[in-house]
Structure 1
């Protein structure tokens, strides 16, 4: 049966792809978005990529009146509205807390007055901190944060007490949060607020922890967007992608199409209510390898990544998703591999303009002692 769906933050990268996914299944989609300049540029114009069938309401998720108006006639809500960026969150604390924490609270108070049938909230892999590891005996280890002295010495990898290397292992939803940034804290707050309020008021609520999403429509001029878009912006301007540490840290890169499909599956599966799911690819890649792949995809193999040997406060070494639970309960299975996803990304990048603001962002972090 067609649903009337509201996506907060739905004019952005992931939200707009979810809108396409839902429209293709016959649902009506409304979007509430403030069209933030850092993401959408100046002017507050409707993004060209947003399907004309989408009803766009321009407003701030922290504005109770705008939220209540956007909820009229809605039976399902995807809550994606959030300020995004680990580094930036460590100095724009009020902005991140207002948008992410207060914005969620405003939405939930409106839903208490007028409950909907379903609520799906976008959470983040950032709340895990470090992923899990296996030691030489095959035991799973939860390591916490790397000591500052270790990072200053340039010792990037985790080792056991005997100096043996620990091997990254997939991270399941059962891992305890390790909140190393304001952004991570705010995403965990969004997740828990939605789940507890949904339980209290009979709203079927699901939290989805997104890993490193990539694909067309990422904000190339936003230095706090996904790392693949940041690399692409550097390369399009003839600059080398900058990589912290030694570039061998591992991440889980997942196509935005798989994320959108996973969101729809969570909406369609009533057994998902009250649950938390990882949405990733389940495949780890080093950041250096991904930078080299992006360079090949956009025809700039001549630009090698710059391995800085520096580190940022709160950075983790390795983390990739265990997607078994989403597979079992939602039928989620990634359909876009990295090679295919980068080919499409490169095609989209042709003709795209990007202002490279990475150096300014890095300098801001260094000025504040957050990157050394």
Structure 2
């Protein structure tokens, strides 16, 4: 009873501390880090299930000082690896492992995974929403405590976390809708626009033109690189194809956008004439790595014609139609420079 009272006090204090933060992400991170610091454990984490792909992802993590974070290595974990955890959750119980050595030879894959993380003991409780398991919340290497009291504590935390995660989802959806609305307005000046997740290579189409869309109906609808490579083979002239494919290479984009917010490249298309493709930086992750970008293509054929006409007018005498003095002097200078270089080669 004393332990439960202590945990209830920690929950109340953790919630008050979390509400000091303005964003759901900040609130969730503060919520679990508060527990980690006050109950004494190596690591506290949240996994959220991706039922469509039958995997679970470590989305939040707190680690004690000196403990190596594992969140980057625990993405896309096949749910079958820990299917016996879910069987336990379905029975209305938490997973309690007081000694990881007990798993050896029984649940060997789980044993290997936990051993690799230096986990000796662990307590994990499900995250439930409307009777459905949506993930789990766990504590690695908790102090020697009453495990039943700890599981009751984690169950209470799980209820709080589900509420915070729902708030986060609503917040993210509102931000997403606002962003997509602004992108749609911006897309009016472009031929096409796509929002790309650099980490996954997936994209969302914000705008495209009918003739491009018709040609690309059978192309990969998830992977941007595959789609744009194939699309450009249809709509980019052969002379510019290699430079266009180099420009749309996502693997080098982080480096190319490091010192700027946008980069551009011009090419001649087979349908629209001169075009300008552009990457625009949208955001970076918590480690400063590029995360989302906009890829846009605009038609600049009319602009190129105006530029060519202005260049012609600036270099040509309007009465005679021949090069003016300034143009002639520049061409003579260029000729002499080329001749000098050619002579020095011998």
If the length of structure 1 is used for normalisation, what is the TM-score? 0.23
The structure with the greater share of residues assigned to helix is: 2
Kindly indicate whether structure 1 or structure 2 has the higher relative contact order, using CA contacts under 8 Å at least 6 residues apart.
1
If the length of structure 2 is used for normalisation, what is the TM-score? 0.24
